[in-house]
Amino acid sequence: MEIVQNILVILHLIGMAMIVGGYLVTVKAPRVLPGMLHAAGLQVVTGVLLFGMLEMQGSPTMSLRAGAGIKILLGLVALIAFIIGNKREKAAASAGAVADGTVKTAAPSAAMAHTGFIAAVLAVIVAVFTL
């Protein structure tokens, strides 16, 4: 069981690294990358599984439930923001693509990229201060 938990922790950290890395790569012209969307989904799934494993092991989790609830809520906010941003990117790409493959609309998903990144960073802050 410890191996599974360690794998989930590694996947959880990889998901956060993908969100931060994807945001930092596009910081001059923010937009939602597909990897950010997948990373947010990975964050939510692995976070819920990690908390579920604590519950199954019989660990005292009563004091952790409020923090876990806030982190799940922030993870869902990030996931929803990235889903909306990804849809906006796809719509802009199909509607505004020109012959050379560039898109006319500048950063249609910038607000969603900022929202998702801020929600993910807030989830990390909650995780650090609720341990």
pLDDT of 22-46, one tens digit each? 999 999 989 999 999 999 999 999 9
Total number of domains in the chain: 1
Tell me what pLDDT residue 4 has. 95
Residue in the structure block whose two tokens are 């890395």: 21
Residue 104: which domain range? Answer: 2-129
Q: Within a 10 A sphere around the Cβ of 77, how many other Cβ atoms?
A: 18
Q: Which phi and psi angles does 66 have, rounded to 5°?
A: -65, -45
Are the C-beta atoms of residues 118 and 125 closer than 8 Å to each other? no
pLDDT tens by residue, 1-16: 899 999 999 999 999 9
